[in-house]
Structure 1
Amino acid sequence: MSVWPAWEVREGERATRWLHVRLAFGDGARIDALATVCEGWVCVEDVRARPALALEDLALFADWIEAPLARASGAETGPDPGDGAGTGAHRDRSARPRGPREQGLVARAYRAAQERGADPVLAVMNETGYSRRGALRLIGRARDAGLLPSRHARR
């Protein structure tokens, strides 16, 4: 993996850095990205991949590059995900339940938010640490497993 600076914007003590990231694989596959690092947060602005990435792979890509980007920008983070640990601002997903237990957790968070009159998708995001798209994917899986009612009532 290669990381090099694109540009930086400073406002007082705060700095936002944009960095280019390139991953090249032995089989000729390549991923180029532009990422932003600011106060411990990493945001992937643009990604170009040959061959194309699936959404699940894109989420893994963001987690995988977080620590190297933070190091390149001078920020401190935890160990690399390549070392088997979680990183920076994201929750440690390795300790979270998977499969049916995860779907049960999603369904409970979703229903509790509905009962409170809160946004159920935001509740699932807060509970799991996933982005909105990831939370929606988990909610769909919980629906498919029969733990949540279908989205549209059938007549």
Structure 2
Amino acid sequence: MGERMHDIRLSVNGVPHAATVPARRLLSDCLRHDLGLTGTHVGCEHGVCGACTVLVDGRPARSCLMLAVGAEGHELTTVEGLADPGGPLHPVQQAFRECHGLQCGFCTPGFLTLIAAYLEEHPDPTEAEAREAVAGNLCRCTGYTNIVAAVLRAAELRRAGPAAVPEPAVPAEERP
């Protein structure tokens, strides 16, 4: 006898979705495989690296540690939902671009969602606070210097308002 399936409804990036999943389907797998939102990356599958970080009701959560059925009734935001398609980049995306906050890009979606939530509650972080804020996500490439600079730059861009973030020069599907 096969595993029991569950019909779930998820609100992801402001869009309602329906999926039929086994009870043990991880949210990260549901987002990637069932909904086709592949911006959420899965690294360690143990909640350690942070690559799978998404926002659940505006708060960062490791989607590899959460079951998809447990996400029903919550508002989810993935990296794809940080900026409107065809619109300006989110300040964190723009700051990562300006400050060269990524190299291979694998960890980037988790950093972007984490930092976006962090800046909602801490709009003017110091360098030490920015470093502490990103310490829970792992990057094997950058050494964090440019990521911390991107946090500080994103805070500046947010304070300056939407006019400070230029229209994207790259198509939405190629954004970090």
TM-score if structure 1 supplies the norm length? 0.29
More strand per residue: 1
TM-score if structure 2 supplies the norm length? 0.27
Give the number of the structure with larger relative contact order, counting CA–CA contacts within 8 Å between residues 6 or more apart: 2
